[in-house]
Amino acid sequence: MREDTRRLLLSLAHPDDESFGMGGTIARYVDEGVEVYLICATNGELGAADPEFLEKYGSVTELRLAELRCAAEKLGITRIYTLGYRDSGMAGSPDNAHPDSLAAADPDEVAGRVTEIIREVRPQVVVTFDPFGGYGHPDHIAMHRATVRAFHAAPDPTQYPEQIEAGLQPYRPRKLYYHTFDRRWLRFAVRVMPLLGQNPEQFGRNKDINLRVIAAHEYPIHARIAFDRYTEIARQARDCHASQLAGFARPGPLQWLRHLLETNEDTFMRAYPPVNGAYECERDLFEGVHTDAGQ
């Protein structure tokens, strides 16, 4: 693998996290010559899908992985690593305890698989969810924890030594970011929704998202990645996940809220190197990362 190539690894949980969370950022970096690798830990089998979307596919898993391949192609993702865990469902659902679910998996094992991918891909920059998983999804939180652990394990040959014995080299990525979002609009929405007859504590097609709790979990924003020129590609990638868009596509307050939350920049908290005290907001996740190509 050439050391002069910039590589970005996204460590996520579901087929659609890449497009709904940071499609614009991915499209921009791919266009700038960065190789983007994606870990998708679950098959997303609990993403509600109307029967019309299932006609061509044998299962929700097949449907959602096909949607992921569609999005990855639009975005120009170099490679997808699927870990094959079962979607754990929203917090508190009985699916959390399913033996194959990511939430029930041994954290050592999940972190080991992420470590192996970091050692193989050798990304300078790693991105995962914030500690609350954006909106509290158990799979997002599990991947946050596994990725933080793997980020620090990958350079240490005493961690998962069987991978070193198998020929992988220890590797230290330079930077770790958490994808997060500005809660200001959300706090506004939480106040306005009751006026529109919506309950912010029972949001989404399954009414299992509590916007009030999400608004209360706030993380600092250390990097803003503008993707004005890539909004069309980001939209095409989102549209690949048609089965998941159904609830949002219906006209009404939800659509209004979606437009409200749409911006032309993705926002990230920098976890490593740690930000101490005052900081200037970064505009590039690779800021300060030097490769042989002299970035």
Q: By CB under 5 A, tell whether 18 contacts Zn ion.
A: no
Q: By CB under 5 A, tell whether 14 contacts Zn ion.
A: yes
**Residue that the structure tokens 């949980």 belong to:** 13
- Write the Ramachandran bin of 122: left for phi over 0, alpha for psi from -120 to 50, otherwise beta: left
| CB of 129 vs Zn ion, minimal distance in Å | 8
Q: Which lies closer to Zn ion via its Cβ, residue 14 or residue 183?
A: 14
3-class secondary structure, 143: helix
| CB of 140 vs Zn ion, minimal distance in Å | 6
Q: Which lies closer to Zn ion via its Cβ, residue 112 or residue 138?
A: 138
Q: By CB under 5 A, tell whether 241 contacts Zn ion.
A: no
CA R_g for the chain: 19
| CB of 13 vs Zn ion, minimal distance in Å | 5
Q: Which lies closer to Zn ion via its Cβ, residue 64 or residue 222?
A: 64
CA distances from 141 to 122, 128, 163 (A): 23, 10, 25
**Residue that the structure tokens 């990725």 belong to:** 147
Contact stretch for Zn ion (CB under 5 A) within 9-17, 47-55, 99-107, 217-225: 9-17
Q: By CB under 5 A, tell whether 238 contacts Zn ion.
A: no
Q: By CB under 5 A, tell whether 113 contacts Zn ion.
A: no
Q: Which lies closer to Zn ion via its Cβ, residue 25 or residue 124?
A: 25
Residues touching Zn ion, count (CB under 5 A) = 3
Q: How many CB atoms lie within 10 A of CB 57?
A: 16
| CB of 93 vs Zn ion, minimal distance in Å | 14
How far apart CA 295 and CA 290 sit, in angstroms, is: 5
Beta bridge partners of 11: 39
Q: Which lies closer to Zn ion via its Cβ, residue 239 or residue 284?
A: 239
Query: Burial of 79 by CB count in 10 Å (0-12 exposed, 13-18 middle, 19+ buried)?
Result: middle
**Residue that the structure tokens 């980020």 belong to:** 151
Q: Out of 15, 17, 130, 151, name the contact with Zn ion by CB under 5 A.
A: 17
How far apart CA 268 and CA 180 sit, in angstroms, is: 5
Q: Which lies closer to Zn ion via its Cβ, residue 17 or residue 45?
A: 17
Q: By CB under 5 A, tell whether 222 contacts Zn ion.
A: no
Q: By CB under 5 A, tell whether 67 contacts Zn ion.
A: no
How far apart CA 253 and CA 204 sit, in angstroms, is: 11
Please report, as ranges, the residues that interact with Zn ion according to CB under 5 A.
13-14, 17
